Structure 1
């Protein structure tokens, strides 16, 4: 289904709210998430720009005895690469200043509808396997539920993200918790997730 425009997104250029409004939710004594709904106003315009201008690619990965299509479109901006919209450059700089951690890369995922998803995982490739790291997720487009649960099983937490919402995972969240965007049979519009990470974290 097409993207349903946000009723809260008024006319004007995309703009970021101050990060002073962010709120922390502890997951454990050593893991946390920060949440700021509606951090980006004008998110629908950013979604439209990214959906049309980003060089999206479909990937295939080996799984068990076969090769399957990755159920989402992907794009990756390495350290030093220009980002596809000026507001993303501004967002990365704001996150770096707020957390005192240099965010250097951006991975983009395009969830076209409810059939697109990402399985349970943690960003544990590279430094994330042994060090506390930050991963910041900015969402544009229709809301989808990001699920979090302790690694090894436990209660699942659900956070709907879309239309300019920000979620930051920190502490040892990547090593001790997993997160996912599950498939859904409900009619949902498309969503783009922008993940900002420090150098050496995937």
Structure 2
């Protein structure tokens, strides 16, 4: 594992609709829910965070990004993205992330029954960085309904969904520039999600994932 606090990144293509440095959240009134099946759903809100590009620049420079490796078959390969994780009680790297987590915890309190307490960050440097098909099933989410909320900053990348049993991609959401998506119900057990590689010329993206206690 190596640290990459100031990674060399291609230029971020700023949003045409969000050019200010005033980092602030809109309301959650515009959240739209899509049912994936009878027990799994996603909520989606484009452009929840205003000033998202400014927050991207601060996090890209401030977060102690890690390059990790993992075993695959008979080899050890580099994880194709940079990572950072803030466990329960750990100070978050920017006040906006504290506000986002508190706001989401309050909004989903009745459904979730507990707050979001951790934050995992992924930095996708370009289209070669990705995350393979998976569900967040480490911990309680392997057997219980839960939620994972994702705030996306930087250039949009597709978040794809397919049933855990396999088959074609059912849904693709291009996420970036302050977009919010929340995966709920049995989504982590019954469905898989991925950020596929792309040959398109795309700039960097940061994904911030908020999770409840005991969910990874």
* 1:107 corresponding residue in structure 2: 120
Of 26, 29, 33, which residue of structure 1 is paired with 2:35? Answer: 26
* 1:149 corresponding residue in structure 2: 162
Find the aligned partners of 1:115 and 1:155 in 2 and give their Cα distance. 21
Find the aligned partners of 2:21 and 2:93 in 1 and give their Cα distance. 19
Whether 1:70 aligns to 2:114 is no
* 1:43 corresponding residue in structure 2: 52
Taking the TM superposition and a 5 Å limit, the aligned residue runs for 1:42-61 are 42-61=51-70
What SS does the aligned partner of 2:208 have? Answer: strand
* 2:153 corresponding residue in structure 1: 140
Whether 1:120 aligns to 2:120 is no
Find the aligned partners of 1:48 and 1:60 in 2 and give their Cα distance. 25
Q: Is the 8 A contact 2:24 2:49 kept in 1?
A: yes
Gaps of 5+ in 1: none
Q: Is the 8 A contact 2:160 2:194 kept in 1?
A: yes
Q: Is the 8 A contact 2:152 2:205 kept in 1?
A: yes
- Listed one character per residue, the Cα deviations across residues 132-171 of structure 1 (whole Å, up to 9, x for unaligned) are 0100000000000000001111341100000000000000
* 1:158 corresponding residue in structure 2: 172
TM-score (ref. length: structure 1): 0.98
- Listed one character per residue, the Cα deviations across residues 108-131 of structure 1 (whole Å, up to 9, x for unaligned) are 000000000000000000001000
Whether 1:179 aligns to 2:193 is yes
TM-score (ref. length: structure 2): 0.92
Whether 1:131 aligns to 2:140 is no
Aligned residues: 202
Find the aligned partners of 1:11 and 1:114 in 2 and give their Cα distance. 26
What SS does the aligned partner of 1:19 have? Answer: coil
* 2:14 corresponding residue in structure 1: 5
Gaps of 5+ in 2: 1-9
Find the aligned partners of 1:2 and 1:49 in 2 and give their Cα distance. 14
182-191 vs 7-16, which deviates more? 7-16
Q: Is the 8 A contact 2:19 2:53 kept in 1?
A: no
What SS does the aligned partner of 1:81 have? Answer: coil
Please provide the CA RMSD for this pair.
0.8
